[in-house]
Amino acid sequence: MRASVLNDAALVKRAGQFAWLSVDVDDAANAAFVAKAPAEGVPMFLVIDSATGKIALSWYGAATAAQLDAMLDDGAAVIAGKASGADAVLARADRANAEKDFVNAAAYYEQALNLGGAKWRKRPRVLESLIMAQSFAHKNEDCAATALREAPAMARDRSLVNVLYFGLECTKPGTPQRIELLKLAEQAVKTPGVLSDDISQLYGEIAYGYRAEKDEAATSRVATEWVAYLRRERAKAASPDARIGLDLQLASAASVLHKPEIALPEIERDERELPKDYNPPRVAASLLSQMGRLDDAVAACSRALELAYGAAKLRMYGVCGGILSRKGDKDAAKKMYQDGIAFGRTLPEDVAQPVVRSLEAALGKL
Amino acid sequence: MIPRLLLFFAAATGPGIHWVENDYPKALAEASARHVPVFVEMWAPW
């Protein structure tokens, strides 16, 4: 996004209106900030009131430049506290959402939608915020109901794609709601003008959704379309930086198809073009492991470990230990897990503890 | 939640926007001095 959206003219013209901070959540140096603002995932965007240090607005997931532009306005509105009507309720919702009070955030977002009405220009973004708040509050029935109620009437844009993504995440396999949302999502992935990250993640959700339904024919059909979509997008990508995000998703699609070998050439090219990035060897290790080339997978794992840092490096110890264990090299797997646990103890506890526990559990199973 | 996206973020500095890298106190101090909010992009290299 930095290469494209975050340098869009719509944001650049507002350069003086904000201080701009970039935070790598895997960098242990940011542990204090990540503890202050724990992210549901990445990317996450925040607007912080510099007078109080409080988070005024948070947004999880990719966004277009226009959405980020509007987000800056909404964050400033929360801080100013001068909004009225639906906008005032939206500001309360955004504040609650930023404070991780997702139950009240969802209630306020619903109020704001009712006040704003069907033609409120902020309605698509507020629907996205509502369904995310319902999901994060584990209100899965409400979340699914929102998607089923709203998606059929929504404009074919990024908001629809996101609403369907979360709606699918909230529904259980084997339910009529899941089947209905899968059908809507299969139409939505054809939406033009949406960020490839968003379309790709929806493809993934559909493919995994059909797999959970034990419908392998539909899983294969969707994953094949997903691969074709990523290859078309890749052909348009102008740089290695633009290609790698697509290739990492291609590896996921290939794994769904049980054809890891179809993504390996792209990942190997990425590793040559981006020799300081740990992601290509990380993903190569996974693909090679799936292909049964375990010695090559171990070698790729070692390369990834050399390049990774912080929480990402810690996770790599688990990946590499798993491959070594699968290879039958218990001593090397044991050492890998032990090295990982020792490395984890050098990281801030909030960052490391869950992964260290998983490494300890894996060690115990050897 | 499992991260949804597999994004890669490119080099740090863009035209027109000065990004403070991995230093919240510095960004907050800059924002306070100019009486503006802080916009934060949280990301991971995977």
The Cβ of residue A242 has, within 10 Å, a number of other Cβ atoms equal to 17
Dihedral angle, C-alpha B39, A138, A123, A50, nearest 10 °: -20
Same-domain status, A67 and A87: yes
Residue B12 clears pLDDT 50, i.e. is over it: no
Cα–Cα distance list, A109 to A76, A78, A138, A175, A235 (Å)? 18, 14, 16, 27, 40
- Is A43 in contact with B27 (Cβ distance < 8 A)? no
The Cβ of residue A31 has, within 10 Å, a number of other Cβ atoms equal to 18
pLDDT value of position A126: 96
Tell me, what CATH number does A14's domain have? 3.40.30
Site of tokens 């309360």: A92
Q: What is the pLDDT of residues A300-317, one digit of tens each?
A: 999 999 999 998 999 999
Q: How confident is the model at residue B4 (pLDDT cuts 50, 70, 90)?
A: very low
Instruction: For chain A, give the mean pLDDT.
Output: 94
Interface test with B, best of A1, A50, A194 (most B CBs within 10 A): A50
Same-domain status, A261 and A338: no
Which residues of B are less than 8 Å from A165 in CB distance? Answer: 4
pLDDT value of position A4: 61
Q: How confident is the model at residue A2 (pLDDT cuts 50, 70, 90)?
A: low
pLDDT value of position B30: 96
- Could you tell me where the beta strands, DSSP code E, fall in chain A? 19-24, 44-48, 55-60
Tell me, what CATH number does A301's domain have? 1.25.40.10
- DSSP structure string for A199-245: HHHHHHHHHHHHHHTT-HHHHHHHHHHHHHHHHHHHHH--SHHHHHH
The Cβ of residue A66 has, within 10 Å, a number of other Cβ atoms equal to 14
Domain boundary among A100, A129, A162: A100
A218 within some domain: no
Residue A255 clears pLDDT 60, i.e. is over it: yes
Which residues of A are less than 8 Å from B14 in CB distance? Answer: 2, 6-7, 12
List the single residue in A3, A11, A312 with the smallest CB-CB distance to B44: A312
Range of the structural domain that residue A245 is part of: 237-307
Same-domain status, A333 and A303: no
Same-domain status, A366 and A271: no
A264 contacts: CB under 8 Å, gap ≥ 6 = A284, A287, A288, A291
Tell me what percent of the residues of chain A surpass a pLDDT of 70.
99
CA distance A172 to A42: 24
Q: Does A145 touch chain B (CB under 8 A)?
A: no
A220 within some domain: no
CA distance B35 to chain A (A): 7
Instruction: Look at chain A and report how many structural domains it folds into.
Output: 3
Same-domain status, A352 and A262: no
A336 within some domain: yes
A112 within some domain: no
Q: How confident is the model at residue A267 (pLDDT cuts 50, 70, 90)?
A: very high
* Better-scored residue on pLDDT, A103 or A42: A103
Residues linked to residue A57 through DSSP beta bridges, in sequence order: A47
Task: For residues A119-142, give the mean pLDDT.
Answer: 96
pLDDT value of position B15: 54
Residue A174 clears pLDDT 50, i.e. is over it: yes
pLDDT value of position A82: 84
Burial category of A44 from C-beta neighbours within 10 Å (exposed 0-12, middle 13-18, buried 19 and up): buried
Q: Does A29 touch chain B (CB under 8 A)?
A: yes
Amino acid at A275: P
Tokens of A360: 């300890």
